[in-house]
Amino acid sequence: MTHILAIDQGTTSTRAIVFDASMTAVASAQEEFPQHFPASGWVEHDATDLWATTAATCRAAIEKAGTTDIAAIGITNQRETTLVWDRKTGKPVYNAIVWQDRRTSGMCRTLKAEGFEEVVTDRTGLLLDPYFSGTKLAWLLDNVDGVRARAEAGELVFGTVDTWLLWNLTGGKVHLTDATNAARTMLYDIRKGRWSRTICDRLGIPMDMLPEVRDCASDFGETRPDLFGRPIPILGIAGDQQAATVGQACFTPGMLKSTYGTGCFALLNTGDTPVRSQNRLLTTIAYQLDGKPTYALEGSIFVAGAVVQWLRDGLKIIGAAPETQALAEAADPGQRVIIVPAFTGLGAPYWRPEARGAVFGLTRNSGPAEFARAALESVGFQTRDLAEAMRADWAAAGAEAELATLRVDGGMSASDFAMQSLADILGAPVDRPDVLETTALGVAWLAGNGEGMLPDAEGFAERWSLERRFEPQLDADAREQRYAAWQRAVKATIAAG
């Protein structure tokens, strides 16, 4: 067997990519699916859409590759998105509640007022925020008719998207997850490597709903024979940002990657020690192999590529994302419009779920070009917020290693303007690899390495190759002036919320 099938189930679309033994993508397929917004701040997916697009794209990618020679499957997925379904029938009890959803803000405030956030952070490395799965699951138990009684009777199971796809791929035979997805639920003790009874009891979550947790490279069962013509083993799983960390070969402490998709997620490898953030970053698991977790500091930005989608779908000033490049380059250099894209709250390091988006610096002459430039620049400003917090935490932890050059990936990293702006505001080089689809690449390596057809971590790291390095071109004074203006805009946005 000479090929690996990577499933990349994202927030707005599902992709399947077939890689050969040289880790080259030979075929892919992608399908978008609808987003549902039943109330302000609520974001949902139809769970059947997630599965249907997964099955369809897998079949299409295999057909395009012209081979049935698939040695193994790897799954990477949008994290924190929460599903509950019937243990026997596999029927969901409600739509999937998406990671962006903010409906449990009030629940989080109540738990914080009780002093429960310290318990959550100590065990999970996370903060009390609607972002994570725990309060979403509690909401489903308390607000969907009959769900709590059925859960307590053992009829229902919980899973993040990886677990939901596994269940369907295996015909309901497997209820598993991996350590990286478990670490994002706000229910998993990342130091002890097990579900936290203390947190589950406080949220009223029956622990027998929860899946078994395994390494990222493990035996996750095999597909139903009817799906792809024969059973195929599923040997790798990692949440999307952790898969990208692997795909960027960030195996050494001090290595830093940032993925620009719907949101932006930066992970700093901290080795075998979980670093407790003093700057409201998250402590999480980067990957887990052979029973040994490697930890990371993570900063999460809720809106990155989604700000370009807003220009397209909300303001309708562009027809497609690539148009922002030429528009941004044509913007009036005398105007400094700032967009704070807090459409679903502010993520790290602020964690203000009540904040909402704002625009500053408008003049009578502000138009589409200035909005396009401000949208792309907002990603750089938010990334610097994360980098500043990471440097402080890394230094406080007594780390000897310096933060490495930032490695970037994801759809938005294809924008030269956005990446140059990022280097300018960071005042540091930004490296873009030859393979931008590092999320799928990472989980393909996990599956292929587990199967034995791909090299070890050292060999995989040697294959990483640079497509372009963006060096900072903005002088230091201008850089600090622009960042100070951004910080003022964020403070005003928070005050208005």
Given 3.30.420.40, 1.10.275.10, 3.90.1300.10, 3.20.20.70, which CATH number is that of 3-240?
A: 3.30.420.40
Element (H, E) at 92: none
pLDDT at 493 over 70: yes
Reported pTM = 0.87
Mean pLDDT for 280-287 is 93
pLDDT at 404: 67
> CATH 3.30.420.40 region(s) of the chain?
3-240, 249-433+466-497
pLDDT at 179 over 80: yes
pLDDT at 1 over 80: no
pLDDT at 398: 77
Residue pLDDT, tens place only, 419-450? 999 999 998 899 999 887 888 999 999 998 87
pLDDT at 56 over 70: yes
The DSSP annotation for 198-209 comes to HHHHHHT--GGG
Dihedral-angle region of residue 146 (phi above 0 means left; psi in -120 to 50 means alpha; beta otherwise): left
Strand ranges inside 341-479, DSSP E: 358-360, 406-409, 430-433, 466-470
Around Cβ 45, how many Cβ atoms within 10 Å?
21
Name the band, by pLDDT with cuts 50, 70 and 90, for residue 38.
Answer: very high
pLDDT at 144: 96
* Residue 33 contacts residue 13 (beta carbons within 8 Å): yes
- For domain 249-433+466-497, give the CATH superfamily: ATPase, nucleotide binding domain (3.30.420.40)
* Residue 76 contacts residue 234 (beta carbons within 8 Å): no
* Residue 140 contacts residue 204 (beta carbons within 8 Å): no
φ, ψ for residue 9 (rounded to 5)? Answer: -95, 110
Residue pLDDT, tens place only, 362-419? 999 999 999 999 999 999 999 999 988 988 888 887 776 566 678 998 888 888 999 9
Around Cβ 88, how many Cβ atoms within 10 Å?
10
Element (H, E) at 54: helix 47-65
Element (H, E) at 416: helix 416-426
Residue pLDDT, tens place only, 210-247? 999 999 999 999 999 999 989 999 999 999 999 999 99
Residue indicated by tokens 């008719």: 145
Element (H, E) at 305: helix 305-309
Per the structure block, which two tokens stand in for 106? 């009030």
Distance CA 33, CA 285 (A): 29
Residue pLDDT, tens place only, 244-253? 999 999 998 8
